[in-house]
Amino acid sequence: MLYPWLRFILFRLSKKDPEHAHEIALKVLQLIGQYPWVLNRFTLYKDPILEQELFGLIFRNPVGLAGGFDKNAVAIRGLATLGFGFLEVGTVTRYAQEGNPKPRIFRFPKDKALINRMGFNNEGADGMLKQFQKTNRPSIPIGISIGKSKITPLDKAVEDYLYSFRTLHSYGSYFAINVSSPNTPGLRTLQEKNHLDILIVTLQNESKVLAGCAGIRRKPLLVKVSPDLSWQAIDEVLAVCSDRNVDGLIATNTTLSRDGLSTQTHEAGGLSGKPLQNRAREVVKYICDHTALPVIGVGGIFNAQDAFAMLKAGARLIQIYTGLIYEGPFVVSAMNKGLGRLMKEYRIKQIQEIAGSA
Ligand SMILES: Cc1cc2nc3c(=O)[nH]c(=O)nc-3n(C[C@H](O)[C@H](O)[C@H](O)COP(=O)(O)O)c2cc1C
């Protein structure tokens, strides 16, 4: 009830540059993080049916925050109080960088969509390290998304990823290898077989060494893919990921397609939200039908029904970004409540079907 008003004010205040709304939201979340008990009793929804262990990590529920919302891990405590089962911070790059000129986010409320061309604006791996060092970490898993700095040429990309991985190793519950953002020139080339293979092997080897030195389990490595890949290209990604024992995939990043966007626009960048929903779900289903690799499904999830459909397509966990912008902070607990109900109904139906056919 409250959020439509808040959204109205926020969208009004940030009409010229929607990034202002994002900056305000992060500031408020930082503040909330200092007093988590204020929100916790409204947002923390617990239900054993939502819990699972995956990649050796415990998830209290399957709803996570997608990469790109908290690029520097400045608001992880506040975000955790919204009831997320896990957070993904970043994408962080080796070097701090400003990203593309503003404005670089565009809202399309009629379509429940966003176009962004942020270009990995972030404080760099060392900046994120400082942030983690001074933050009292929430108890949920925190994934760190790593990417390539703009100034780094493609043939030196592996060193870039390696630097961020090493620097932040002890703080990430898992690491997402982002090779699918459309806003860093050349980045998506890293999804090609040979590039991806070298990148994964290098990070896997480093992961073993770092885990051995620290006497801990190897940190899970996941690959985030684009929805714009052909089925053949996805097959190649899957072959590399399976051969190299990647722990899972995240599908999908934003799309360059404008299908499903009713508003005319010439803004460049990646499209997210409702228009991405079908394609993201289709890609998740394809991956789950062709491999046993666990998938985190992301793209156009706005409510419990959308989340449930993504889980039915085969995803083990889901993430949201654009849904959080349009539906507001209470969408996380509402989604979990709804998911709990839908999962129970589904289980009962399955039991009835088995009993009926016996
Ligand atoms: C403004 C904005 C910035 C984003 N930045 C990143 C990023 O840095 N790293 C990343 O992996 N994905 C990034 N994404 C993509 C999201 O994580 C997600 O994959 C995509 O938006 C689809 O989900 P959604 O429809 O729920 O937004 C960004 C998305 C938006 C809207």
Q: How confident is the model at residue 41 (pLDDT cuts 50, 70, 90)?
A: low
Establish whether residue 78 lines the binding site of ligand 1, counting it when its CB lies within 6 angstroms of any ligand atom.
Answer: no
Residue among 117, 253, 259, 306 whose CB has most ligand 1 atoms within 8 A, to mutate: 253
Tell me, in angstroms, the distance from the centre of ligand 1 to residue 57's CA.
23
pLDDT tens column, 195-251? 999 999 999 999 999 999 988 989 999 999 999 999 999 999 999 999 999 999 999
Cβ proximity of 194 and 239 under 8 Å: no
- Cβ 324 under 6 angstroms from ligand 1: no
Residues 6+ apart with CB under 8 A from 18: 11, 103, 105, 106, 107, 114
- Can 173 be counted among the known catalytic residues? no
Given a cut of 90, is residue 189 above it in pLDDT? no
Of the residues 14, 145, 173, 181, which is catalytic? 181
Instruction: Using the predicted structure, report yes or no on whether residue 1 has a pLDDT greater than 70.
Output: no
Give the per-residue pLDDT at 148. Answer: 95
Whole-number pLDDT of residue 345 = 94
For residue 299, the CA-to-ligand 1 centroid distance in Å is 8
- Whether 15 has a pLDDT exceeding 90, the answer reads no
Q: What are phi and psi of 116, to 5 degrees?
A: -130, 145
> Does the pLDDT at position 356 exceed 90?
no
Distance CA 150, CA 172 (A): 23
114 lines ligand 1 (CB under 6 A): yes
Coil, strand or helix at 334: helix
Q: Work out which ligand 1 atom sits closest to the CA atom of 319.
A: 26
Per residue in 294-305, pLDDT (tens digit) is 999 999 999 999
Q: Mean pLDDT over residues 118-133, rounded?
A: 97
- Nearest-CA residue for ligand 1 atom 21 is 272
Structure tokens belonging to residue 170: 């002890």
Cis peptide bond prior to 227, omega within 30° of 0: no
Q: From the CB of 100, is ligand 1 less than 6 Å away? A: no
Specify the pLDDT at position 34.
Answer: 86
pLDDT at 58: 97
| Strands 57-59 and 142-146, sheet pairing | unpaired
What is the distance in A from the centroid of ligand 1 to the CA of 209?
31
Share of residues in the chain with pLDDT > 70 (%): 98
For atom 23 of ligand 1, the residue with the nearest CA is 299
β 295-298/248-251 pair status: parallel
Does the pLDDT of residue 96 top 80, yes or no? yes
* Ranges 25-29, 31-35, 167-171, 342-346: which has the least confidence: 31-35
Q: Across residues 106-121, what is the average pLDDT?
A: 96
pLDDT of res. 191: 75
CB 274 less than 6 A from any atom of ligand 1: no
Average pLDDT value for residue range 338-358: 90
Q: What pLDDT sits at residue 2?
A: 65
Predicted confidence at residue 78, as pLDDT, reads 94
For residue 253, give the ligand 1 atom closest to its CA. Answer: 19
Q: Residue 350 pLDDT > 90, yes or no?
A: no
The per-residue pLDDT for range 278-318, each reduced to its tens digit, is 999 999 999 999 999 999 999 999 999 999 999 999 999 99
Residue in the structure block whose two tokens are 């929100």: 39
For ligand 1, the distance from its centroid to the CA atom of residue 349, given in whole angstroms, is 35
pLDDT(319) > 90? yes
Q: How many CA atoms lie within 13 A of 141 on its CB side?
A: 26
301 CB near ligand 1 (under 6 Å): yes
- Answer yes or no: is the C-beta of 66 below 6 A from any ligand 1 atom: yes
Q: What is the mean pLDDT of the chain?
A: 93
| Residue minimizing CA distance to atom 8 of ligand 1 | 68
Distance from the alpha carbon of residue 245 to the mean position of ligand 1, in angstroms: 25
Q: Please tell me if the CB atom of residue 227 comes closer than 6 angstroms to any atom of ligand 1.
A: no
Q: What is the pTM of this model?
A: 0.96
Task: For ligand 1, say whether the CB of 322 is within 6 Å of any of its atoms.
Answer: yes
pLDDT reading at 171 higher than 80: yes
